[in-house]
């Protein structure tokens, strides 16, 4: 993963040139890869009045929220309902816009501070639940969601970013995301 792109674009994404390069790359990935795949799935009949896309869940995201390698405030776009397990046609924002991370990786300003919201762990657990994977196969013992929650949150990330998620987020990390998982 080391190399010109990683260091010169990803780690410099807060600067204008690398930011535009990253944005262009993500737009092309979405429009030239994801959209054509989804269109092909939607064009294949499933033999019962629906399409193959109706039986699938196509998931697209990337690793950049407001900052590089930051899990907060990242967009996630899904297509398909996985046989009705997931609601479609929605725009859901699980951020609490009254709570934001007060300091950031790059000395952010109030205009670009990411908001605190539900955890990414809850999203991944919701996908597992939507596919009927038993909770016993993915739930973590220290929060019930999918994926490891660091036991020492103060040491878990740059400038204590993840210390701002509290019991109200972690206590529901194993629950289905509201409105999305049916």
pLDDT in tens, 100-119: 776 655 555 556 667 888 98
| pLDDT, the chain, mean | 84
Answering whether pTM is above 0.95, one says: no
Q: Which residues contact 51 (CB under 8 A, 6 or more apart)?
A: 41, 42, 43, 44, 45
pLDDT in tens, 116-140: 889 888 999 999 999 999 999 999 9
Q: Tell me, what DSSP letter sits at residue 20?
A: H
Question: In this structure, are residues 128 and 57 in contact, taking their beta carbons and an 8 Å threshold?
Answer: no
């Amino acid at each position: 993963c080391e190399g010109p792109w990683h260091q010169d674009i990803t780690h410099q994404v807060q600067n204008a040139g690398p930011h535009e390069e990253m944005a262009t790359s993500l737009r092309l990935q979405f429009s030239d890869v994801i959209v054509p795949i989804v269109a092909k799935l939607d064009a294949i009949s499933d033999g019962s009045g629906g399409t193959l896309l109706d039986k699938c869940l196509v998931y697209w995201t990337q690793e950049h929220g407001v900052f590089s390698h930051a899990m907060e405030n990242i967009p996630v776009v899904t297509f398909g309902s996985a046989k009705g397990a997931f609601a479609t046609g929605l725009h859901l924002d699980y951020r609490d816009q009254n709570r934001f991370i007060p300091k950031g990786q790059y000395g952010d300003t109030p205009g670009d501070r990411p908001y605190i919201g539900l955890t990414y762990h809850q999203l991944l657990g919701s996908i597992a639940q939507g596919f009927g994977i038993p909770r016993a196969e993915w739930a973590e013992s220290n929060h019930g969601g999918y994926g490891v929650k660091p036991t020492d949150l103060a040491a878990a990330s740059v400038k204590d970013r993840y210390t701002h998620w509290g019991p109200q987020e972690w206590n529901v990390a194993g629950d289905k995301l509201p409105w999305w998982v049916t």
